[in-house]
Homo-oligomer: A and B are copies of this chain.
Amino acid sequence: MSGTKKTGLILWLTLLLTGAYAEDGSRLWLRFSEAKVDKTLFSGIVSKTDALPAKEFGMAWNEMTGSELKRQAAPSSKSLIVGTVNDKHIKQTGIVSDLKNSGAEGYIIRSLKGDSVTVVAANTEAGLLYGVFHLLRLIQTEKFSYQLNIKEKPLYDVRLLNHWDNLDGTIERGYAGHSIWKWNELPGKISPRYEEYARANASVGINATVLNNVNASPQMLTKEYIQKVQAIANVLRPYHIRVFLSINFSSPKEIGGLPTSDPLDKNVKKWWSDKAKEIYKLIPDFGGFLVKANSEGLPGPMDYGRTHVDGANMLADALKPFGGIVMWRAFVYEPGDDRVKLAYNEFHKFDGMFRDNVIIQVKNGPIDFQPREPFSPLFGAMKKTPLMPELQITQEYLGQGTHLVFLAPMWQEFFEDDTFARGKGSFIAKVTTGNIYPQKFTAIAGVANIGEDANWCGHHFAQANWYAFGRLAWNNQISSEQIADEWITQTFQNKNKRPSDKNCWLPIKKMMLSSHETAVDYMMPLGLHHIFAWTHHYGPEPWCDIPGARPDWLPVYYHRADSVGLGYNRTTTGSNAVSQYYTPLNEEFNGLSSCPEKYLLWFHHVPWNYRMKSGRTLWDELCYRYDNGVQQVREYQKIWDKSENCIDAQRFAEVQSKLRTQSRDAVWWKDACLLYFQTFSKQPIPYNLERPVHELDDLKKIKLNMGHHN
């Protein structure tokens, strides 16, 4: 070794040991090396890597969980036994019968024989993978004990990310750099990020991924690209992650040389069957197709006078022999009636008509991932058709790569909503897991916020949303608080700041838990929605009204401000969208005083001087909400700055900088919306509130040069 090389190695080792290397966030929450592990936690580990045959655990266990475990668990007076029901050590524990209803992905972590033995057991390697990650999480968050009795299995069968990644490397609604999928390098070159990605997803229970944008290129299904997909699938497989693809409904015509893509056309059917066969030959565990059809200009069965049912079933038939499924998106809204009603109107009528390997993918709200929406009335409405929620992890409408907004509370709110589909208690959490109407299989999708940025998600705190999606997809009953706790301590702990250091983590948790409500306040309180700038969905543009544009793409369509008041009348005297909900919810939403104020302007056109529950008029309340949003972000800045000695320098500075921008943006939002709505209300902003610092005319001139893509 040359002198230079030796010096370099020593420097590198020194940096590693002192923790002084750049903390760029690339390790996500997977910082076992930062965990304080008692060197005598286990005296011995009985697992494949110790005593079990390699074939029983396979590469995943060997390469990942095994090595993870070895990294932190040194010999002690206690022993750890890890294995599946087929393993003799597990059989000897007598735990096998308890795993009967744990399915393919469940596991048990249990202390036996007093506290001398800890067992992680599962029916399959997949279950074991999740069980070991659970154990690791307990150790990392310093919640491990020798008195464990944990039994888990996931509530959704398919827990998948949707990447809106294009084949040219751009990402629609991506705010963390370009795509991690390097299509031009594949299949020859395999980025090390693919496995890191798989490991991170597996650690939170995600078991599927759609690699490409729902606005899909037909090219995706060419032989060339399927080979590239195969290469990715091979990397993800050991982590029990199945690959799916978004397909373009016109593929038979575009790349198949057929004159049509009519789903009832014999040749079209054959083309899809052959294509399925071709895929499964290379990727035997291929998951299936995600389809955006007849939506926002994309092709679909209606181009041929057919229905969504015709299209979905045709694809389902092609996939059926191989066990694949079709996820057909309900995000359709032909111009016409009130946009919030359209998906329901289009799909409700098809209930029971889809093949049993079709599932309808429905966005949480009836519009499009707004800061706050009531749930889509399709949930609970389709009794004989499986539905899967589509959540958006990427913050298209929530400050993108810049604002700190923790989404778990928003999703929790969604899961806790009661559809009343089969009376009180018919929560979304139950409806979507087949507990109200039985479903042959269940699924949940999250639109990914992942890109090639060093920290994966652009904003360090956006990692928490990826983490939260995975945890909630596993179990939609986990509280936002628990998720925040887990993520913060795993992500930010270091040798000096332990998970038990509440002074460090409590304020940050408080900030995260209130951050969604804060963003709603400074962007769109009281049920306002879709008043974003035309192109980028980042800043405010409530005045946006482009002649000739689709009305339902324009803010003025949604807020309906006039001299009388504000909001969209969707009651029985208006568009009657309330009628799509079950009783008594439809009545609750329909009544001005019974409607929850968080949805007030979603369902009602409310007079400016309407008296709110606070005692304030609508106008004054609106002002207070916007102001509160601003003050809250300033409070977050204080919380974060006070955390300086808890956080490594790089991540501290990067988050601090983004919070500064968020703080300015909150004022921008407040001023833009209040000054604009004031032109209708003709009322002063309450004088005890901080005054605007912008001119409406100046704000109207702001045109950010932000594309949809990164």
Contact = CB atoms under 8 A, between A and B. Distances in A.
Contacts of A660: 691-695
A664 B634 CA distance: 15
B684 A638 contact: no
Contacts of A692: 660
Contact of A693 (B664, B688, B694): B664
Given A638-B688, A641-B684, 13 more contacts: A634-B690, A634-B691, A637-B693, A638-B687, A641-B685, A641-B687, A641-B691, A657-B695, A660-B691, A660-B692, A660-B695, A664-B693, A664-B694
Contacts of A634: 690-691
- Chain copies in complex: 2
A123 B691 CA distance: 53
Interface of A: 634, 637-638, 641-642, 644, 657, 659-661, 663-664, 684-685, 687-688, 690-695
A627 to B, nearest CB: 12
15 contacts: A634-B690, A634-B691, A637-B690, A637-B691, A637-B693, A638-B691, A641-B691, A644-B684, A660-B691, A660-B693, A660-B694, A661-B693, A663-B691, A663-B693, A664-B694
A497 to B, nearest CB: 17
A661 B644 CA distance: 32
Contacts of A691: 634, 637-638, 641, 659-660, 663
A25 to B, nearest CB: 19
Contacts of A685: 641
A553 to B, nearest CB: 31
Contacts of A693: 637, 660-661, 663-664
Nearest to A665: B693
A114 B606 CA distance: 66
A688 B634 CA distance: 11
A629 B644 CA distance: 26
A671 to B, nearest CB: 9
A217 B168 CA distance: 64
Nearest to A666: B693
Nearest to A657: B695
A691 B637 CA distance: 6
Contacts of A637: 690-691, 693
A463 to B, nearest CB: 22
A664 B692 CA distance: 10
A694 B660 CA distance: 6
Contacts of A642: 687
A664 B699 CA distance: 14
- The 3 lowest CB-CB distance pairs between A and B, nearest first, are A637-B691, A663-B693, A660-B693
